[in-house]
């Protein structure tokens, strides 16, 4: 990871669910001070519990100088949390009315120069910044779950976001070891979730049609293309599949068959029957596994993979 962005080291977290707590843990691991706020019942104790549960994985990845759980403080309200903060990571519910109320409270106490990044997974940032006093400093900073492990952050500016805000957000996330991408046109669901949705759509269709079981479909991805996708993106994988001719050769020779596959992709509405089939398939797949142990193995392998990628050197 790169050196921590020295000018932004006081972070406010608004919304302390799983995403907010994961963000808080990551910022703490970077040596930053974090003030967090959430109106939920038992939010404070749950925040500390989650952050402490994430900490061993962050220790395994390597803590930055000054990293300490003692730098986490729970605030009684949003205004107390953001007062003096240089960067606000907002993680409220996916409802515009709630987002607008949260932004209004943040702006009532935050310095006008403070960046406000929303972790919204589907809402457009132009909608979120409507009615704000300083909409130019509001940007989408959407992580991939869990943020304390997954490097990707999608950065999107809204209609009123200044180019400087977008650049500052990109620089900040990059400097703390994230892998930010700049999405240049707003679109519902952003990029990564839309790509996932496309895969989920066909996965549901194949299971619904009885083509494959839920368990075998999971194997098809986790022991097949998913291994390559963890290393290089879809276009570079296509390029290397083309041999010496690269992407040009691949598109020339396999482009037409791929278009035929696209035309044959199906759609299965999530009816009660289809949902029941998926739920039963997942339960059957997990029969011989302890879910908590399985998640721990997943995270252990993920950390090892991330470490291996760093050791190999920079990948696209």
- Say whether both 175 and 228 belong to one domain: no
The range of the structural domain enclosing residue 153 comes to 10-182
- Say whether both 29 and 55 belong to one domain: yes
- Say whether both 28 and 74 belong to one domain: yes
Contact criterion met (CB below 8 Å) for 154 and 192: yes
For 54, the token pair is 């994430």
- Say whether both 95 and 237 belong to one domain: no
State residue 249's pLDDT score.
95
What are the pLDDT digits (tens) for 6-23? 478 999 999 999 999 999
Structural domain contains residue 316: no
CATH code of 22's domain: 3.40.50.720
- Say whether both 123 and 150 belong to one domain: yes
Q: Mean pLDDT over all residues of the chain? A: 95
Beta bridge pairs of residue 115 = 87
What are the pLDDT digits (tens) for 93-152? 999 999 999 999 999 999 999 999 999 988 999 999 999 999 999 999 999 999 999 999
Structural domain ending residue among the three candidates 158, 182, 206:
182
Structural domain contains residue 1: no
Q: Model pTM?
A: 0.93
Integer Cα distance of 203 and 85 in angstroms: 43
Q: For the residues of 30-75, what is the DSSP string, one character each?
A: TT-EEEEE--STTHHHHHHHHHHHHHHHHHHH-PPTT--GGGEEE-
Q: For the residues of 67-91, what is the DSSP string, one character each?
A: --GGGEEE-SSHHHHHTT-SEEEE-
Give the residue, 139 or 76, on which the prediction is more confident. 139
- Say whether both 162 and 210 belong to one domain: no
């Amino acid at each position: 990871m790169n050196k921590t962005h020295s000018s932004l080291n006081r972070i406010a977290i608004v919304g302390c669910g799983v995403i907010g707590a994961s963000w808080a843990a990551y910022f703490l691991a970077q040596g930053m001070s974090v003030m967090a706020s959430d109106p939920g019942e038992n939010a404070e104790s749950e925040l500390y519990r989650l952050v402490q549960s994430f900490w061993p994985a962050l220790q395994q990845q390597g803590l930055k100088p000054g990293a300490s759980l003692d730098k986490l403080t729970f605030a009684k309200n949003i205004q107390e949390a953001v007062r003096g903060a240089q960067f606000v990571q907002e993680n409220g519910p996916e409802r515009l009315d709630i987002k607008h109320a949260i932004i209004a409270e943040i702006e009532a106490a935050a310095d006008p120069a403070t960046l406000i990044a929303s972790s919204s997974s589907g809402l457009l940032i132009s909608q979120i910044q409507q009615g704000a006093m300083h909409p130019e400093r509001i940007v989408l900073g959407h992580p991939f779950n869990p943020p304390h492990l997954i490097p990707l952050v999608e950065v999107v500016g809204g209609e009123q976001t200044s180019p400087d805000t977008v650049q500052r957000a990109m620089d900040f996330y990059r400097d703390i070891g994230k892998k930010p991408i700049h999405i240049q046109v707003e679109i519902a669901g952003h990029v990564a979730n839309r790509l996932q949705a496309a895969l989920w759509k066909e996965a549901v269709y194949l299971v619904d049609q009885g083509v494959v079981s839920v368990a075998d479909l999971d194997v098809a991805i986790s022991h097949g293309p998913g291994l390559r996708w963890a290393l290089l993106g879809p276009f570079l994988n296509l390029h290397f599949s083309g041999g010496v001719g690269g992407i040009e050769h691949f598109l020339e020779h396999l482009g037409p068959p791929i278009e035929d596959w696209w035309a044959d992709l199906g759609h299965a509405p999530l009816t009660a029957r289809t949902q029941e089939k998926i739920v039963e398939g997942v339960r059957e797949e997990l029969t011989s596994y302890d879910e908590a142990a399985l998640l721990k193995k997943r995270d252990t392998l993920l950390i090892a993979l991330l470490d291996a990628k760093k050791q190999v050197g920079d990948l696209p």
